[in-house]
Structure 1
Amino acid sequence: MPHPRGRAGRGCGAEPDRHFCIQSLGLFFGGALAPLAGRWTDQFGRRVVMTVGSLEAGIVLILPFFLMSPYGLFVAMLLAEAAAMCVLYNVAFAAVAGWT
């Protein structure tokens, strides 16, 4: 059985090294977006931010089927990380802490 790293990103024409670079940049973008998601939570409320993040996550799940290039993969990763920052950790913690 071949190692899965050798097949990563082949469907969109990206080499494995480029694929992992795109993933790393996506994670960096998500981390940079976290303070902004926190500000949006304070400004618009938890429900709005989590709803927008959930809608964006749904779009991101469908997006890779239409974007078959390394640039499309990059856009999909950035959007996935943006959605993750709107529904995970800081916003979800604020939502749970607000229940008390």
Structure 2
Amino acid sequence: MTCKISEVEFKQPIEEVADWDDRHRTATWQSASDRVLKESRQLDSKKVMETNPEPLCSVVEGSQWSLDLEIRAICDFSKFSCSSSSNIQFKDTMLFQTELHQ
């Protein structure tokens, strides 16, 4: 996989730029009305998650380059299925306990 990399300049001094990624979110509560519901005695409001804005920046001209990335993955979950004429019943097992059916 090819990754394109560019140097950026921030509009603010680097000391004032906060770390950012698209997981930084702010929760706000939006209310349809400010009244209290008689049945539930809770405010009639809805929680809204908003992604924080990315700091303003610009790409430095001539600073772009490409990097080839090698990606590997290991799966720690497997699934197996087979057909059987009878149902196989296992006893409940505890964590780190094993059970064998033959």
TM-score range, shorter chain: under 0.3
Q: Which one has a larger percent strand, Structure 1 or Structure 2? A: 2
Query: Normalization by structure 2: what TM-score?
Result: 0.19
Larger radius of gyration: 2
Greater per-residue helix proportion: 1
TM-score normalised per structure 1: 0.19
